[in-house]
């Protein structure tokens, strides 16, 4: 009888937890971002910056890749590092042409963990600097 | 018409002469006329309808009419209102999905999930505020499930979410279903 239990216990370890409740990136976007950034990421001119067709531009300038993780909306979201990495990759692909670039390397959990640990002190100034840079690159 | 006058006079005189003051017919007649007058008295009939299940006097019971969407949208215990804080637009001339006439729906909103008791699934609910006229004041509903403190502003329901509309005057709140909250395993 004891062996039966042992086998049973081992089998429980074989299967991943079926009650995994992590949300898929689109759902996480809807719950944590869409309220202000709207369904397609266009935001509201003057108060909520647009991400639609804009997001990938941050990857083209130094510091931009870090900014997308450290911006308070990302860094403070109630998501773990893996979920945030997945969400950012999804957003770059579906709202912007970020992932169509051959050089694009997706965010990983480890990268997000590292970048998220650093607090962005002056968000507005950093953003202005980045936007000015990619405007000049055009 | 003289014949009608004559008939009425004769018959009522005959009735008066042949029946006593205490007869059944006179009492029955009094009860009939008196009873008919009672419903004509000015009473607040609106409050009577609220005893039929409404949350606010004058607001009748409602239903969404959609299969799988149980409950009464004019009641605070309606499943979609799990995290609402405000006046229900269903009681204010709008519905759970639309704003009352003369108000504007704020595009900027706060979003949460509610469990639908019908199918046991979590749905993503958008609490769009209606803005532009003074507060409705009917059917106040404050449930606050998973409401977060102000430092997590995107899911804080004390915020005036009219900040995206042309007028920031709050009127009432809707609860719109955006979709099923699908998890990454499915």
Q: Rounded distance, CA B175 to CA B95, Å?
A: 9
**Residue B46 maps to a domain:** no
Q: Give the distance from residue A61's alpha carbon to the nearest chain B alpha carbon, in angstroms.
A: 29
Instruction: Give A17's contacts (C-beta < 8 A, 6+ positions apart).
Output: none
- State whether B6 and B98 are in the same domain: no
Active-site pick, B5, B79, B85, B129: B129
Q: Which of B9, B166, B148 is nearest to B85 (CA)?
A: B148
- State whether B36 and B127 are in the same domain: no
**Residue B110 maps to a domain:** yes
Q: Using CA atoms of B167, B168, B169, B173 in order, give the dihedral in degrees to the nearest 10.
A: 110
**Residue B29 maps to a domain:** yes
The tokens 């006593």 sit on which residue? B20
Q: A106-110, B59-63, B149-153: which has the highest mean pLDDT? A: A106-110
**pLDDT-based confidence at A101, cuts 50/70/90?**
confident
- State whether B76 and B34 are in the same domain: no
Q: Do A44 and B107 touch (CB under 8 A)?
A: yes
Q: Rounded distance, CA A79 to CA A59, Å?
A: 22
Q: Rounded distance, CA B109 to CA B164, Å?
A: 8
The answer for A 72-111 residues in CB contact with B (under 8 A) is 73, 76, 78, 86
What global pTM score does this model have? 0.72
Backbone torsions φ then ψ of B114, nearest 5 degrees: -130, 145
Residue-wise pLDDT tens digits, A52-64? 999 999 999 999 9
Q: Rounded distance, CA B110 to CA B99, Å?
A: 16
- State whether B61 and B117 are in the same domain: yes
By the 8 A CB rule, do B57 and B50 touch? yes
Nearest to B124 among A27, A44, A78 (CB): A27
Q: Rounded distance, CA B29 to CA B108, Å?
A: 67
Residue-wise pLDDT tens digits, B155-185? 777 778 898 899 999 999 999 999 998 876 5
**Residue B47 maps to a domain:** no
Q: Which of B140, B143, B144, B124 is nearest to B172 (CA)?
A: B140
**pLDDT-based confidence at B65, cuts 50/70/90?**
confident
Q: Which residues of A touch B110 (CB under 8 A)?
A: 35
Q: Which residues of A touch B178 (CB under 8 A)?
A: 30, 34
Instruction: Read off the CATH number of the domain in which B109 is found.
Output: 2.60.30.10
By the 8 A CB rule, do B110 and B155 touch? yes
Q: Rounded distance, CA B47 to CA B123, Å?
A: 34
Residue-wise pLDDT tens digits, B73-89? 999 999 999 989 999 99
**pLDDT-based confidence at B119, cuts 50/70/90?**
very high
Instruction: Provide the pLDDT for residue B185.
Output: 56
Instruction: Provide the pLDDT for residue A107.
Output: 96
Catalytic residue check, B161: no
**Up-side HSE of residue A90: CA atoms within 13 Å toward CB?**
18
How many other β-carbons are positioned within 10 Å of the β-carbon of residue B180?
Answer: 15
Range of the domain at B130: 55-180
Nearest to A35 among B110, B183, B186 (CB): B110
| CATH T-level fold of A22-137 | Cytochrome Bc1 Complex; Chain D, domain 2 (1.10.760)
Q: Do B184 and A20 touch (CB under 8 A)?
A: yes
Catalytic residue check, B110: yes
């Amino acid at each position: 009888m004891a062996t039966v239990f042992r086998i049973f216990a081992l089998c429980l370890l074989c299967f991943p937890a079926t009650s995994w409740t992590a949300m898929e990136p689109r759902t996480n976007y809807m719950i944590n971002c869409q309220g202000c950034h709207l369904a397609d990421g266009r935001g509201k001119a003057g108060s909520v910056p647009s991400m639609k067709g804009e997001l990938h531009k941050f990857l083209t300038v130094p510091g931009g890749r870090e900014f997308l993780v450290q911006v308070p909306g990302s860094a403070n979201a109630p998501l773990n590092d893996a979920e945030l990495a997945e969400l950012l990759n999804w957003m770059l692909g579906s709202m912007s042409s970020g992932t169509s670039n051959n050089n694009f390397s997706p965010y990983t959990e480890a990268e997000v963990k590292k970048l998220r640990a650093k607090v962005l002190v002056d968000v507005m100034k950093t953003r202005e600097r980045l936007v000015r840079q990619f405007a000049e690159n055009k | 018409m003289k014949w009608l006058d004559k008939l009425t006079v004769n018959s009522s005189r005959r009735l008066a002469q042949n029946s006593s003051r205490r007869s059944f017919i006179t009492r029955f007649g009094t009860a009939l006329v008196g009873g008919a007058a009672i419903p004509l008295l000015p009473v607040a009939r609106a409050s009577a309808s609220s005893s039929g299940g409404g949350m606010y006097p004058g607001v009748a019971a409602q239903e969404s009419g959609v299969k799988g969407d149980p409950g009464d949208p004019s009641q605070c215990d309606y499943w979609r209102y799990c995290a609402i804080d405000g006046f229900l637009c269903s009681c204010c001339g709008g519905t759970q999905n639309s704003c009352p006439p003369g108000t504007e729906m704020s595009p900027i909103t706060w979003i949460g999930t509610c469990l639908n008791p019908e199918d046991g699934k979590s749905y993503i609910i958008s609490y769009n505020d209606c803005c532009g006229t003074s507060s409705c004041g009917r059917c106040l509903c404050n449930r606050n499930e998973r409401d977060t403190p102000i430092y997590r502003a995107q899911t804080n329901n004390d915020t005036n979410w009219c900040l995206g509309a042309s007028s920031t005057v709050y009127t009432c709140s809707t609860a719109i279903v955006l979709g099923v909250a699908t998890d990454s395993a499915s």
